[in-house]
Amino acid sequence: MVRSLIFAFVASLLLADVGRTALVMTPTIDEYVLDGAKLKQLAFSDGDQKVTYQSPRGWKYFATATQLTLYPPNKTQAEATIATISRPDQSQFDDEALKKLVAEVLVLVPKGSSNIVVESQEKAPLRIGNRETFLVVISYSLLGNNYDRSILVINRGPEQIRCQLTCRSSDFKELQKAFLSSQYSWRNL
């Protein structure tokens, strides 16, 4: 009896994930009150429920159906994106999948870049909604400037959420802290 209940529970969790539709990245503004303060967050739809995210304070945004682009205030050549990518073949971060992800990150470096270095790779730097994550940080030079890029990958059923920050190396530590901290705000992901 207990085994049947456990099996039914696990099966329902798996089916719930499979039945989800893709997350649409065009947000609406969702207002809520916390300790008497009126706050705003971005709300997205996955067909079944509202998924919310609190962007870093003061960052502007632009959205399409598959990507949210964020711009930090008073920083030139800095951009963060949160994009959905269909990946039905990638449900776990095993060694082979991690190698492919790092290779994909390196391929996306702008043409003409030099001094490309994988600075770090970290499996599960944070958990979002009990989902596995993988973080890659790279550096490169382009047109006389040094840049850093981080990509946090979140597996979400048959799709991945990729949270990418690209900016000048001198701004990276500050912006990375704000951007990664905002990832903890996801609800119902």
State how far the Cα of 65 lies from the Cα of 68, in Å rounded to an integer: 8
In a domain, 44, yes or no: no
Q: Between 5 and 41, whose confidence is greater?
A: 41
CATH number, domain with residue 76: 3.40.1000.10
User: Rounded mean pLDDT of the chain?
Assistant: 85
How confident is residue 12, by pLDDT bands cut at 50, 70 and 90?
Answer: very low
What pLDDT shows up at residue 6? 34
Q: Is the pLDDT confidence value at 176 over 60? A: yes
Rounded to an integer, what distance in angstroms lies between the CA atom of residue 33 and that of residue 20? 29
66: helix, strand or coil: coil
Q: How far is CA 169 from the centre of its chain?
A: 20
Residue 4: is its pLDDT beyond 70?
Answer: no
* Residue 53 resides in a domain: no
Question: CA-CA distances (angstroms) from residue 131 to 51, 102, 178?
Answer: 14, 19, 20
Mean pLDDT is highest, among 41-50, 70-79, 94-103, for 70-79
Cβ–Cβ < 8 Å for 104, 115: no
β-pairing, 60-63 with 133-142? unpaired
Enter the pTM of the model. Answer: 0.84
Which of the given ranges, 8-12, 98-102, 138-142, has the highest pLDDT on average? 138-142
Enclosing domain of residue 162: 59-184
Examine residue 36 and state whether it is found in any structural domain, yes or no.
Answer: no
